[in-house]
Amino acid sequence: MKLLTSPCRFERAFLLFAWLALPFSLKGHGTLGDPIIDLEEFNIQGKAYDLVGLTMTSSTGVANNSELSQRPFQRRGELLEVVPGMIVTQHAGGGKANQYFIRGYNLDHGTDFHVGVDGMPVNFRNHAHGQGYADINFIIPEFTEGLEYFKGPFFAEFGDLSTAGGAEYKFFHELPAGIASFSIGEHGYHRVLLGDSFALEKGVLTVGAEYSHEDGPWLVENNYDRYNVFARYHQGDKVNFFDVTLLYHDGEWLSSDQIPMRGVESGLIDRFGTVDDTTGGNTTRQSGQINWRQEDGASVNTLDAWFGFYDLELYSNFTYFLGDPVNGDQFEQNDGRYFGGFNFTRKTDHDFNGRESTTSMGLQTRYDWISDLGLYLSSHRQRLSTVRKDDIDSGNFSAFLENETQFTDTFKAGLGVRADYFVFDVDSDNPLNSGKESDEIISPKLNLVFGPWDQTELYVNAGFGFHSNDARGVTIAIDPNDGVTPADPVDPLVRTKGAEIGIRSSAAQNTTVTATLWYLESDSELVFVGDGGATEPSDGSERWGIEITSYWRPTEWLAVDAEYAYVDAKFVGVAPGFSKIPNSIDHS
């Protein structure tokens, strides 16, 4: 069976987490506490869950396992389309990260939208293909208990790459039932999934594996193979628990690239054909993580820690023979890294002038050790020359403090602040583009909740956020494409701001309705372009929009959802006819 015989590149050591001997006292079994919404479990209502009194914004929500595992989708990244207003698309084959669009942002492959799995960030900084690259092909939908999402820079727990919002996947601690599934479809599609949970003396072990293959309708088949392995040891109850999780992902594919229209119209290329039949890539992601939660009187302590290895070899060709009529314009992007970090949070319930109050404080760090971060000119996957090659060490050290107080029966306020310190260390093949930089930023947050009245709340939110730029763009001095032209470095950290006014109502039975008016501002959209190895200048921007959602659950077997989003996204200081931000989607 191909699942067993196809090479998975296991010669790369599957990293085991070294912190398994932490001396924590544990009880029974349960689910992770969440920094956005306090839910004991993912209710069958999913996005129709009554969140009145449980969250601080109208744009926060949840989706349960049924809404993820039973949702029809063509690409794994479409799991994120349960987030209202999110549009997910794909180019160049199914093995790379999807492209994401939300709130007037063309997020490329993840910039400004945080994606996490049980506290472990999925986005990669300083990625070969784009800042914030978020590939979720390693997630098995059937092993996912649910997803919790938020919009805007209003939560102190989240910092870099989260201005537009974010989503946190939660894996099951224990599968509801064993899984043995085989599916087959058109265009060479087939998928095998096995998984089960086993009771041990002091906990539960859950293991599973997925293999899928797809060719697509193309004359040059995608030949996309995806392998996922999941293993989790869980010990605890719904209040106190300790989890150890190991994840493995491997993917290989050929690309279904864009092709020139004139070639199709002239009959030179079939509409399902290709110009370069060697584009595509291969990738692997291997990680280990622990999740710990323990109540301590009126306080709850949580720790998420992770360590892993990632590798990508990506071959692209957007202009075919325009630049090099002999060898063609194919190029290779290579990314190999180790990554690790932790989040620690202590949340305490206390009394403030006779009223309920909760204070959260946290420490976070994340570090990436990147080697052979390269951009190369290639032909038929053979390197011809090096555009640039870098080794990068970069990371952040962060702290946050947040308080939510119920001042009256119908008024709650949240005030938070976050401090981030970043370091960038670039060792480039061109010494002029090497260097060390650091930067820091402080981001305050304010959230006001009025109500509830008849299961209806009003929300007013404002906050400062930011996103980091690629370290190569921070230290760049010379354009690597010619080695002569001066290049402008980007700011290490770019300030963003946001505001929201919203309403949430569950007054109608089995129905949840929300409406949100939002605004986002970015000081600059100057970015480092991985495809070219240099910076791309852009002005500051302003975005505003409206989001309306309605979720009705008349029975346990019927869900009726309606979502609408309008966006107006413009550059600041640009002539009116040129101010619209490209690829910002107005209506969805």
499-547 pLDDT per residue, tens: 999 999 999 999 999 999 999 999 887 655 655 656 565 778 999 999 9
Is the pLDDT at 109 greater than 90? The verdict is no
Separation CA 305–CA 539 (nearest Å): 37
Separation CA 244–CA 506 (nearest Å): 37
pLDDT band at 184; cut points 50, 70, 90: very high
Is the pLDDT at 135 greater than 70? The verdict is yes
Lowest mean pLDDT of 15-29, 41-55, 338-352, 493-507, name the range. 15-29
Q: Find the mean pLDDT for residues 424-430.
A: 96
Is the pLDDT at 470 greater than 70? The verdict is yes
Closest Cα partner for 503 from 552, 562, 455?
455
Is the pLDDT at 35 greater than 60? The verdict is no
The confidence score (pLDDT) of residue 23 equals 32
- Residue type (1 letter), 528: F
Backbone phi and psi for residue 83, each to the nearest 5 degrees, phi listed first = -75, 120
Which residue has tokens 């930067």?
Answer: 439
Question: Of 32-36, 97-101, 327-331, which has the strongest mean pLDDT?
Answer: 327-331
The confidence score (pLDDT) of residue 532 equals 63
Q: What is the mean pLDDT of the chain?
A: 88
pLDDT band at 102; cut points 50, 70, 90: very high
The confidence score (pLDDT) of residue 584 equals 85
Lowest mean pLDDT of 89-98, 155-164, 327-336, 566-575, name the range. 89-98
Is the pLDDT at 19 greater than 60? The verdict is no
Is the pLDDT at 70 greater than 80? The verdict is no
Q: Find the mean pLDDT for residues 33-50.
A: 58
The confidence score (pLDDT) of residue 189 equals 94
The confidence score (pLDDT) of residue 38 equals 55
> Who wins on pLDDT, 574 or 570?
570
pLDDT band at 325; cut points 50, 70, 90: very high
Is the pLDDT at 151 greater than 90? The verdict is yes
Please determine, looking at this structure, whether the domain spanning 14-578 carries the CATH number 2.40.170.20.
Answer: yes
pLDDT tens digits, 344-383 = 999 999 999 999 999 999 999 999 999 989 999 999 999 9
Tell how far CA 361 is from the center of its chain.
Answer: 23
pLDDT band at 37; cut points 50, 70, 90: low
pLDDT band at 9; cut points 50, 70, 90: very low
Whole-prediction pTM value? 0.90
Dmax (CA) for the chain in angstroms is 78
Is the pLDDT at 457 greater than 90? The verdict is yes
Is the pLDDT at 103 greater than 90? The verdict is yes
Residue ranges of the domains in the chain? 14-578
Separation CA 569–CA 543 (nearest Å): 4
Which residue has tokens 């002029």?
Answer: 432
CB 439 within 8 A of CB 420: no
Coil/strand/helix, residue 170:
strand
pLDDT band at 98; cut points 50, 70, 90: confident
Is the pLDDT at 11 greater than 50? The verdict is no
CB 413 within 8 A of CB 426: no
The confidence score (pLDDT) of residue 239 equals 84
Task: List C-alpha distances in Å: 398 to 154, 344, 345, 417, 420.
Answer: 16, 11, 12, 11, 4
Separation CA 191–CA 450 (nearest Å): 49
Task: List C-alpha distances in Å: 455 to 47, 54, 148, 508, 511.
Answer: 16, 12, 21, 9, 11
> Who wins on pLDDT, 186 or 50?
186
Backbone φ/ψ region at 583: left (φ over 0), alpha (ψ -120 to 50), beta: left
The confidence score (pLDDT) of residue 199 equals 96
